[in-house]
A and B are shown apart, each in its own frame.
Chain A
Amino acid sequence: MERREPEVVLRYTMAERVVHWVVAVSFLYLLLTGLALFSPPFYWLAGLLGGGPVIRYWHPVVGVVFFAALVVMLLLWARDMKLEPHDREWLRHLRDYAAGREEAVPESGRFNAGQKLLFYLQFLAGVLLLASGVVLWFPLSFGRLLREASFVVHDLAATAAMGALILHVYMGVFVIRGSWEAITRGTVSRRWAQAHHGLWYRQLRPASSRSPQRGLPEARA
């Protein structure tokens, strides 16, 4: 590959990407096996993933892995996920953002307000899923009322997380071109950074001029 002035900036460090994909893969597994356990029309997913007893064994175990990775993710991104006053402004332009008129939307930081809210929704769902999931895991250790409530909470939280996931995957894979590259190889073009996360990009400039190739694949090689 020809070395040139870098046109890309680092958006997600290696650690961030690994954690993201641990969360993503474990969540996908939990969603598919959870659907099989939730509703008989989806039970064929159990056969696809090794059969009923196998998914019953692994679902809670993977759930713990998922939650642990989610906590690491929160620690990594806590600063960037903090809600700022300009996020309120961004949310007022949600309609513009959804319609693809991003030039009309106020600039956002490393994550826009939608991403932040989605993250908090997912994290809250994760907490509820873990708490209720432990009860479902060891039903005989808990009282009847708690067990019954846990079923309802687990289902509601999973439904919310599933809805959030559909939105997230759709935005990341289909709408915002370049996001896939960002979360796999770690980099985005300068133009991408400016267009989608203007505030972040401007904060980044001094840092990136100090060490323009930090974290780039060729720099690591």
Chain B
Amino acid sequence: MPRVGLEVKAVSASKGATPGLGHPATGEVTKLVDVSVCIGCKACEVACKEWNDLPPSPDRPFTGSYQTLPDLEYNFWQLIKFNEVQRDGRLVWTLTKFQCMHCEDPGCLRACPAPGAIVQYANGIVDFVQENCIGCQFCVTGCPFDVPRISPTTGKVYKCTLCSDRVAAGLEPACVKACPTNAISFGTRPKMLAQAEQRVQQLRADGYTNAAVYNPEGVGGTHVVYVLPYGDAPDIYGLPQNPRVTFVNLWKGPLKWLGNTVLFGGILGAVLHYFRFGPREANGKGSGAAAGEKVQ
């Protein structure tokens, strides 16, 4: 599967499958979201739906929030979360563009039982391949960010692709292109991480002493990173403090080992027991008499 721009790094439910040979000259890509300059205009939401041809969502009752929808949906891959929180005695209104984080160690891909349903490209993008998806939603639990969503009509799971089709063609993701304040940047990973670090320094100089880059280590880093003014409390932005894929590791490690031992050990034990002790006959003809008893 040689695909320029979408060289494959990892495939779900496939051991060591790396069909792609080359690595992109650009290396890994990263999307940087600087929440401190987001104005909540939702141009990115619109651009995402437009580029990806996502059908409109049904109208919801108004809940008093600026947020478009309560949560991500199978046809709504990125959402600006509007949160009002108290911090140091004053109101903080956080606007956080939320979507798939494109983890370096993706829990969804590790949990997926269907070969080829989730791929990780060498450029870091994690993509769902719906034609191979079986709709089990293991990825929903495998994802520490609660991102994948199943479509009730197709029974397949969908999420942000980081516009892998655009990236393969050398374009930036649709949301990046649409952003009027440059709150979203896209580029090679070293460049984006350096830009994030620089912005954090600026914010600190401006008095946001806890400003930090959100690039959680528990999932090996993410290919969507944030600049957070209150970097010590990612939860006020609706981001988990320390996302991990512990349970998938437990499942794919010790539990699998235990299952194999019981299955193959059990069968082997039974075969050996049969060789050693054999069957027990107690069913001869005229059995009642043979058992030394005359019955009816």
- Report A's interface with B, CB cutoff 8 A: 5-7, 35-40, 43, 46, 51-53, 55-57, 98-100, 102, 136, 139-140, 144, 147-149, 151-152, 155-156, 158-160, 162-163, 166-167, 170, 174-178, 181, 188-192, 194-196, 205, 208-209, 212
Would A152 and B114 be within 8 Å (CB), given that A162-B266, A191-B283, A195-B282 are in contact?
Answer: no
Interface string of B248-280 (1 = CB under 8 A from A): 001100011011101100110010011001111
B296 to A102, Cβ gap below 8 A? no
Inter-chain contact A56/B135, CB cutoff 8 Å: yes
Which among B53-61, B95-103, B175-183, B287-295 touches the partner chain? B287-295
| 6 A-B residue pairs with CB within 8 Å | A7-B285, A37-B136, A56-B135, A155-B259, A159-B258, A189-B282
How distant is A87 from chain B, measured CB to nearest CB, in Å? 20
- Name the CB-closest residue of A to B285: A7
**In the complex, what residues of B have CB within 8 A of residue A7's CB?**
285-288
CB < 8 Å A-B pair total: 158
* Closest 6 A/B residue pairs (Cβ): A191-B287, A52-B134, A166-B266, A195-B282, A40-B13, A148-B247
The answer to whether the Cβ of B115 comes within 8 Å of any Cβ in the partner chain is yes
Residue from A40, A175, A191 within 8 A of B274 (CB atoms): A175
Return chain A residues, CB-CB under 8 Å to B286. 7
Q: In this complex, which of A98, A151, A208 has the most chain B Cβ atoms within 10 angstroms of its Cβ?
A: A151
Q: Once the chains bind, are A159 and B293 in contact (CB under 8 Å)?
A: no
What total of chain B residues lie within 8 Å of the partner, measured CB to CB?
A: 51
Whether B288 pairs with A190 at a CB distance below 8 angstroms is yes
Residues of chain A within 8 A of B115, CB atoms compared: 40, 43
Cβ-neighbour of B270 out of A100, A140, A174, A177 (below 8 A): A174
Q: Chain A nearest CB: distance from B176 CB in Å? A: 29
Residue B233, interface by CB 8 Å:
no
Q: Is B140's beta carbon under 8 Å from chain A? A: yes
Establish whether residues A163 and B266, one from each chain, have CB atoms under 8 Å apart when the complex forms.
Answer: yes
* Cross-chain contact B14 with A177 (CB below 8 angstroms): no
Of all chain A residues, the one with the shortest Cβ separation from B267 is A166
Given A151-B251, A167-B270, A190-B291, check contact A36 B113 (CB 8 Å).
yes
Q: Which residues of B lie under 8 Å from residue A148 when comparing CB positions? A: 141, 246-247
B279 & A191 in contact (Cβ 8 Å cutoff)? no
Q: B109-146 toward A: CB 8 Å interface, digit per residue (1/0)?
A: 00001110000000000000000101111101100001
Are the C-beta atoms of A192 and B263 separated by less than 8 Å? no
- From A139, A166, A167, B140 is in contact (CB under 8 Å) with A139
**Among B13, B141, B262, which residue has its beta carbon within 8 angstroms of that of A159?**
B262
Whether the pair A155, B140 counts as a contact (CB closer than 8 A) is: no
Which of B146, B270, B274, B288 is in CB contact (< 8 Å) with A144?
B146
- Complex CA–CA separation, A22 to B140 (angstroms): 32
Tell me if B296 and A100 are in contact (CB < 8 A): no
Q: A43-B114, A43-B115 are in contact. Are A162 and B263 (CB under 8 A)?
A: yes
Q: Which residues of B contact A160 (CB under 8 A)?
A: 262
Are B284 and A191 interface neighbours, CB within 8 A?
A: yes
Known: A38-B259, A209-B295. 11 other contacts (CB 8 A): A39-B260, A40-B14, A99-B277, A136-B138, A136-B141, A149-B247, A177-B279, A177-B281, A189-B283, A192-B287, A196-B282
Most buried by A among B135, B140, B247, B277: B247
Which residues from chain B contact A205 at a C-beta distance below 8 Å? 295-296
The answer to whether B287 touches A38, judged by C-beta atoms less than 8 angstroms apart, is no
Q: Give CA–CA (A190, B290) in the complex, Å.
A: 10
> What residues of A have a CB within 8 angstroms of the CB of B247 in the complex?
148-149, 151-152
Enumerate chain A residues within 8 angstroms of B258, measured Cβ to Cβ.
156, 159
Name the contact of A176 in the complex, choosing from B146, B155, B260, B280 (C-beta under 8 A).
Answer: B280
